[in-house]
Amino acid sequence: MTRGKDDRDLQRYFDGELRPRRARRIREEIEADAGARGRIAALESMRGMVRSASADAVDEADFGGLWARVRAGIEHEPPLGLRERLGFWLRRWGVVVATASAAAAVVLFVLVRPAHRPPPSNDAVIESLDVGPEAVGTIFTIAGSGETGQTTVIWVTETSAEGEE
């Protein structure tokens, strides 16, 4: 194994961070390379030294009055002001409130908007309807805007003789 990228792979192998297939490949390369075996041995030695040092530090630590000191620190801490409480609340619940507000706004927009729209009107007034053997004619006016304020529609539909299509 060469140094560089392979040392990173050795470190990841040593820490158990590789996927099984990649770990098998690295293990095979370690078995075939004396230098890689030496680097793994150095990592194991370093792990032992770190564990020993941290175990000694933990054994020497005095945790006897820890909770009493924590409790005393909490009691002497001044209460949060309005600005800090509001900031805490917004960081904790702001996204939820914003999402719920947006959803409520969409629902209100969809539900309330049609209520304000006037119903469609059909202000057509049929002035005459003529039905004859060959055609149907209808004249009606629709109230609207413009100079006369109305539109006149003349509608003629031809009918076919019986049997014709």
Q: Is residue 24 very low, low, confident or very high in pLDDT (cuts 50, 70, 90)?
A: very high
Q: Quick check: 18 and 53 in contact, CB under 8 A?
A: no
Give me the phi and psi of 37, to 5 degrees please.
Answer: -65, -40
Contact 142, 153 (CB under 8 A): yes
- The residue extents of the domains of the chain are 5-60, 78-116, 124-158
Contact 30, 40 (CB under 8 A): yes
Percent pLDDT > 70 in the chain is: 80
Residue pLDDT, tens place only, 82-95: 988 888 888 888 88
Taking the CA atoms of 60, 64, 65 and 66 in sequence, report the sign of the dihedral they define: positive
